[in-house]
Amino acid sequence: EVQLVESGGGLVQPGGSLRLSCAASGFAFSNFEMNWVRQAPGKGLEWVSYIPHSGDTIYYADSVKGRFTISRDNAKNSLYLQIDSLRAEDTALYYCAREFDDGFDIWGQGTVVTVSS
């Protein structure tokens, strides 16, 4: 079964850090571009970051640039998001999503990040 499973979310104080992980299974992870997308409570979908197969040309949303770092380990079939200098507005459900043919065709169930003192 093709699957993405996120982990690493939690409650963190403003200014804190977290490392989110996304474990891929059922497909050749190294062949696909990957993204992180989040949804804040009561809000719409917001794209966060993109990483290609090789991990070279990376893109970030302006709202997270300089604070979030996306990476991948193709040998471990895993995608990561290091999130630093967390703010209240980063509170959201974070999804990893596989990109194929200019669409996000496989999504995980998400991991919740709550930023609060």
Partner 1 sequence: QSVLTQPPSVSAAPGQKVTISCSGSSSNIGNNYVSWYQKLPGTAPKLLIYKDNQRPSGIPDRFSGSKSGTSATLGITGLQTGDEADYYCGTWDSRLSGFNWVFGGGTKVTVL
Contact call for residue 47 and partner 1 (CB under 8 A): yes
Q: Does 9 bind partner 1 (CB under 8 A)?
A: no
The least CB distance from residue 98 to partner 1, in Å, is 10
Q: How far apart are CA 113 and CA 25, in angstroms?
A: 23
Q: Are 67 and 84 in contact (CB under 8 A)?
A: yes
CB of 60 to partner 1, least distance (A): 8
Among 41, 42, 66, 103, binds partner 1 (CB under 8 A): 103
C-beta of 48: minimal distance to partner 1 in Å? 9
Q: At closest approach, how far in Å is the CB of 109 from partner 1?
A: 6
Among 5, 27, 50, 74, binds partner 1 (CB under 8 A): 50
Q: DSSP string spanning 41-76?
A: TTS-EEEEEEE-TTS-S-EE-TTTTTTEEEEEEGGG
DSSP letter string, 70-114: EEEEGGGTEEEEEE-S--GGG-EEEEEEEEETTEEEEE---EEEE
Residues that bind partner 1 (CB under 8 A): 35, 37, 39, 44-47, 50, 57, 59, 61-62, 95, 97, 100-105, 107-110
